[in-house]
Amino acid sequence: MNTTQILAEARRHLGGAMESSARLALSDAVKLEAVGELRHARKRALDSLSYSVGVLSPVYKRVAKYVEN
Instruction: Give the Cα separation of 19 and 25 in Å (integer).
Output: 10
Q: For residue range 19-66, what is the model confidence (pLDDT) as tens digits?
A: 999 999 999 999 999 999 999 999 999 999 999 999 999 999 999 999
Distances (CA, A) of 59 to 12, 28, 36, 37, 49: 11, 20, 25, 23, 8
Phi first, then psi, for residue 62 (nearest 5°) are -65, -45
Domain ranges (residues) in the chain = 3-64
Please report which confidence band the pLDDT of residue 69 belongs to, taking 50, 70 and 90 as the band edges: low
Instruction: Give the Cα separation of 33 and 56 in Å (integer).
Output: 26
Contact call for residues 43 and 3 (beta carbons, < 8 A):
no
